[in-house]
């Protein structure tokens, strides 16, 4: 089955998607870097200032960037729901496994520090 060539309107739409996505990714990255540098410059000596909000923002920004990259550059937004879920669910399990193993490893490290290396 042969593919039909793209019309000029479809081509312009795809080019526009790429440019919009590039701008979105650039803005998110610039905001991430500015916040990290701002934190480093003004709050690194303030021991009471929590890092959790910055970490949460960086994680959420990374998730947003991953979504845009997969949707536009990997053409996932044009796929069926079943195919999208077949990509998303194993990825979520992989992320969960990384978090769970990191948490467990930190627990073992804390116990080793507390009770010694027997």
Whether the Cβ atoms of residue 67 and residue 25 lie closer than 8 Å to each other: no
Rg (the chain; Cα; Å): 21
Whether the Cβ atoms of residue 28 and residue 65 lie closer than 8 Å to each other: yes
Euclidean distance between CA atoms 52 and 48, whole angstroms = 12
> Across the chain, what does the average pLDDT equal?
85
DSSP 60: H
Residue 106 C-alpha from the chain's centroid = 23
**pLDDT for position 2:** 62
**Per-residue pLDDT averaged across 106-110, rounded?**
86
Whether the Cβ atoms of residue 64 and residue 28 lie closer than 8 Å to each other: yes
Whether the Cβ atoms of residue 69 and residue 25 lie closer than 8 Å to each other: yes
pTM metric for this prediction: 0.66
Angle of the 8-42 helix axis to the 52-68 helix axis, nearest 10 = 170
State yes or no: pLDDT of 8 exceeds 90.
Answer: no
Half-sphere exposure of 14 (CA within 13 A, CB side): 11
């Amino acid at each position: 089955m042969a593919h039909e060539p793209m019309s000029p309107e479809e081509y312009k739409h795809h080019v526009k998607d790429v440019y919009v996505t590039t701008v979105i990714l650039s803005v998110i990255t610039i905001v991430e870097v500015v916040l990290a540098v701002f934190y480093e410059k003004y709050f690194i000596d303030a021991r009471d200032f929590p890092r959790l909000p910055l970490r949460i923002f960086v994680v959420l920004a990374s998730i947003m960037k991953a979504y845009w990259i997969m949707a536009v550059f990997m053409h996932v937004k044009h796929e069926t729901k079943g195919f999208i879920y077949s990509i998303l669910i194993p990825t979520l399990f992989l992320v969960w496994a990384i978090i769970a193993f990191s948490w467990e490893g930190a627990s073992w490290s804390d116990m080793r520090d507390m009770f010694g290396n027997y």
